[in-house]
Amino acid sequence: MSDHAMQIEPRFDVDDIEQIGAEDEAETFIPPVPRVSIQAFCETADTAKMLQVAAEDRRMARAHTNIQSSGIDGAISFYREAPSPNLIIVELIGGPDSILENLARLAEVCDSGTKVLVIGHVNDVLLYRELVRRGVSEYLVAPLSTKQVLQSIAGLYGDPQAEPLGRVLAFVGAKGGSGSSTVAHNSAWMIANNLGTDAIIADLDLPFGTAALDFNQDPMQGIAEAVYAPDRLDDVLLDRLLAKCTDNLSLFSAPGNLGRDYDLEPDAYDRVLDVVRANVPAVILDLPHMWNGWVKHILLDADEIVITAEPDLANLRNAKNIFEIVRQGRPNDRPPRLVLNRVGVPKRPEISPKDFAEALNCEPAAIIAFDPALFGTAANNGQMIQEMAANAKPLEAFAEIAKALTGRSEPSDKRRSLLAPLMARLGSRKKS
């Protein structure tokens, strides 16, 4: 066969061949699905089996996929109790009317950021258009190949022109020791474990960072390896450099040693953060208390900024300066969030939270009392506060911060859905 092939004269010039290859690749290439949560509710065994195979595909390695056979009713009762994931896949076996009706019921219990992919059994263009118009991300007709479904899921996240998936949440202290890292780690814990949003904590305090200690992880080069060889960083290397804390939470830890001088260029973290944010919806940056080119660049670039301060004069002056430079540098963004921490140290004269916040012209996002026994034990154990004491008072503050940063509410809170127009429409149709 190779002899025969060798006799064939090339018929295309190199440019043509490249073009054909590229077209072909565009059709069949499936990019990796990022670190999103996917929950599927099937009605038929065939669809469940097909999704199971898809979930085990290498391109789904980062996503958390859960497949249930409880159908649309299972989905609805499930999301009454639990926050919805990034993507819901739901199989509906009825006709167009039944599909619309069931989706309206699902819409009532879903968060607004959730994408919905519907697998139906009727091939109906009008139904398809109507579903897309009402906010359904994709409608596929069974029977489906694994590849079709993978392409659809990747297509929902793979558009390089689309906004980056992950939000960068930067935490910085107004002064060293104000508890910024503690607040960052515990808030990240809430985002990941209580709201179910996949998160990565990046410890940017390369010489002295405590994230690995706080999560009881072995020290790793982690983020230093990435920042000193950013061009080598891809999804595969990222996976190797991350330490897994829980199912939803990974840690990009700092070396925590003085092996280098750690002088970084202002844009040193750009590439690293691009790769990280393409892989996970929430990126928590634990910044050191310092002021230089790269810290300023990261703060001005972040989606959200949380400043943790103690209620004293030096913290107030520094917080005010950070607020000002950030307000100037990003006039179209919301101002930073203020967390007052270590409030109520016995015998210490303090600025009241009210006066502190007024001086900064903001409302504190959270106020956390000084509790050396609680925080000291957690730090020594390498545990988060919630792991140690499920009813501890500061958990309310961390939950508040998590909610403010992600916009995600508890399941019992009012939810608005992408499918809200669908609900409204069906509601008015029933009345008439």
Ligand X SMILES: Nc1ncnc2c1ncn2[C@@H]1O[C@H](COP(=O)(O)OP(=O)(O)O)[C@@H](O)[C@H]1O
Which residues would be at the binding site for ligand X (CB under 6 A)? 173, 176-182, 210, 289, 308, 341-342, 368, 370-372, 375-376, 379
Query: By rule CB under 5 A, what count of residues binds Mg ion?
Result: 1
Nearer to Mg ion, 76 or 206 (CB): 206
Nearer to Mg ion, 341 or 417 (CB): 341
- Token readout for 251 is 């840690």
Asked if 182 interacts with Mg ion (CB under 5 A), we say: no
Nearer to Mg ion, 181 or 318 (CB): 181
Nearer to Mg ion, 120 or 256 (CB): 256
Stretch that binds Mg ion, among 36-44, 176-184, 267-275, 356-364 (CB under 5 A): 176-184
Q: Identify what 255 binds: ligand X, Mg ion, none; CB under 5 to 8 Å per kind.
A: none
- Token readout for 319 is 């917080």
- Token readout for 134 is 């009402």
Q: Identify what 368 binds: Mg ion, ligand X, none; CB under 5 to 8 Å per kind.
A: ligand X
Q: Tell me the closest approach of the beta carbon of residue 401 to ligand X, in angstroms.
A: 13
Nearer to ligand X, 39 or 308 (CB): 308
DSSP state of 258: -
Nearer to Mg ion, 138 or 203 (CB): 203
- Token readout for 18 is 């490249």
Query: CA angle at residue 381 from 378 to 383, to 5 degrees?
Result: 55
Q: How far is 295 from 206, CA to CA, in rounded Å?
A: 12
Q: How far is 33 from 162, CA to CA, in rounded Å?
A: 14
Q: Which of 309, 313, 291, 308 is nearest to 300 (CA)?
A: 291
Q: Identify what 100 binds: Mg ion, ligand X, none; CB under 5 to 8 Å per kind.
A: none
Nearer to ligand X, 85 or 179 (CB): 179
Using omega within 30 degrees of 0 as the cis cutoff, is the peptide bond preceding 83 cis? Answer: no
Strand bridging mode 304-309 / 337-343: parallel
Q: Identify what 407 binds: Mg ion, ligand X, none; CB under 5 to 8 Å per kind.
A: none
Nearer to ligand X, 210 or 253 (CB): 210
| Element holding 283 (H helix, E strand) | strand 282-286
Q: Which of 226, 198, 203 is nearest to 215 (CA)?
A: 203
Q: How far is 19 from 25, CA to CA, in rounded Å?
A: 10
Q: Are 298 and 306 in contact (CB under 8 A)?
A: no
Per-residue contact track with Mg ion, 242 to 261, x per CB under 5 A? Answer: --------------------
Q: Tell me the closest approach of the beta carbon of residue 202 to Mg ion, in angstroms.
A: 12
Q: Tell me the closest approach of the beta carbon of residue 282 to ligand X, in angstroms.
A: 19
Phi, psi angles (nearest 5°) of residue 310: -90, 155
Q: Identify what 375 binds: Mg ion, ligand X, none; CB under 5 to 8 Å per kind.
A: ligand X
Q: Is the dihedral of CA 220, 184, 286, 249 positive or negative?
A: positive
HEC-encoded secondary structure of 370-426: CCHHHHHHHHHHCCCHHHHCCCCCHHHHHHHHHHHHHCCCCCCCCCCCCCHHHHHHH
Stretch that binds Mg ion, among 38-46, 97-105, 146-154, 180-188 (CB under 5 A): 180-188
Nearer to ligand X, 140 or 374 (CB): 374
Q: Are 38 and 9 in contact (CB under 8 A)?
A: no
Q: Cα torsion for 32, 35, 36, 41, to the nearest 10°?
A: 70
Q: Which amino acid is at 25?
A: E
Q: How far is 318 from 23, CA to CA, in rounded Å?
A: 55
Q: Tell me the closest approach of the beta carbon of residue 289 to ligand X, in angstroms.
A: 6
Asked if 181 interacts with Mg ion (CB under 5 A), we say: yes
Asked if 186 interacts with Mg ion (CB under 5 A), we say: no
Q: Identify what 372 binds: Mg ion, ligand X, none; CB under 5 to 8 Å per kind.
A: ligand X
Stretch that binds Mg ion, among 97-105, 153-161, 178-186, 306-314 (CB under 5 A): 178-186
Interface residue list for Mg ion (CB under 5 A) = 181
